[in-house]
Amino acid sequence: MNYYVDICVCSVKDMNQKYTELHKALYEMHSNKIGVSFPLLGDTMGRILRVHGNMESLVKLRNYYPYYLLMDISKTPKEVQHCIYKRRQPTMSQSKIRRLIKRGNMPVDKIAEYNKKMNERKTRLPYLEIRSASSGQLYRRFIKCCTSKKNDKGAFDCFGFSETRTVPIW
């Protein structure tokens, strides 16, 4: 992770759009060497999407991600911390509850009790709204950031996240 590109956006909607485009490019590239971070992550994703990788991977990304052509590739600073960006899923979604009811695994009379319990434990993590290319549906991808020691082992998924591999943060 010697290089990075910052993609600045104006709004949450822009972040969702740029991130979805980046995800499509990573998927088409079959890349597992490019990671993402969100330097202004807080209650929301912030307004900067930082793309990390080696020079070869970031240059290759230009062929797949047109918006990226406008960005400068910069060298990662020497003094950095490391972080793992992971996807976190809520324990149970409404669609999963419907499937459980349909299969007969959850009694209908327990739904209200379960919803009350789930609302108390609702995640407060920031998220991206991504439109599925296959179904066209919009879904939320909740993100958790964990500081960690540097780890170059492992791979990133086509969303730029990993359960083990770190990206530099500063």
**Does residue 45 form part of some domain?**
yes
Residue for token pair 């609702």: 122
**Does residue 137 form part of some domain?**
no
Total domains in the fold of the chain: 1
Pairing of strands 81-88, 138-148: antiparallel
- pLDDT, one tens digit for every residue, the chain (170 residues): 799 999 888 988 899 998 998 998 899 999 899 999 999 988 888 999 999 999 999 988 887 776 665 678 899 999 999 999 988 876 666 777 778 788 887 777 777 777 666 665 566 789 898 887 778 888 888 898 999 888 888 899 999 999 999 999 99
**Does residue 114 form part of some domain?**
no
**Does residue 100 form part of some domain?**
no
The residue range of the domain holding 76 is: 3-86+145-169
Whichever domain contains 20, its CATH number is 3.30.70.2540
Residues 69, 72: Cα–Cα separation, whole Å: 8
Residues 79, 170: Cα–Cα separation, whole Å: 8
How high is the pLDDT of residue 137? 82
**Does residue 49 form part of some domain?**
yes
**Does residue 102 form part of some domain?**
no
Identity of the residue numbered 76: T
**Does residue 55 form part of some domain?**
yes
**Does residue 69 form part of some domain?**
yes
Strands (E) across the chain are located at 3-8, 35-37, 48-53, 74-75, 81-88, 127-131, 138-148, 167-169
